[in-house]
Amino acid sequence: MMKSVAVASASAAIDARIRELNDWRGPMLAKVRQIIHQADPEIVEEVKWVKATSPGTPVFSHGGIVCTGETYKNVVKMTFAKGAALKDPRRLFNSSLEGNVRRAIDIHEGEKIDEAGLKNLIRAAVALNLEGKSVGKTKTKPTSQKVRKMA
């Protein structure tokens, strides 16, 4: 069964994941995490999709999932949940380009992160999540209703 880790322990789980990576991926995931929080201090950390064979995936949310921070053998991957809907003028997305919803950034060993561009993508993803979730938004009722009489 897959589950999520409570938000309070999610940060500790992500810290542990960073520490257990004994190569360049740990510091890179830590750097990505730092940039995410700099871009939006209201980001909430979660760990989702935990199962017996996987410690789960670090997830960064604000009004919905913004992105994940996954680690694979040769890359640190940031997958943006609604990446296909985001403008990417600096062409940071370099993976999962064929999908209709998600887009990802694969970061390889030795690559430098475009911090300003990444912060802009994160802020745009948060803004997209918050669209339509504005406080005080009310549904309006139709002004006229037709009543059908039964004979």
pLDDT tens-digit series, residues 27-84: 999 999 999 999 999 999 999 998 888 889 999 999 999 999 999 999 999 999 999 9
Q: 118 phi and psi, to 5 degrees?
A: -65, -40
Task: Tell me the domains of the chain and their CATH numbers.
Answer: 3-130 (3.90.1150.200)
- 23: tokens are 């190569």
Average pLDDT of 20-30? 96
Total-model pTM: 0.81
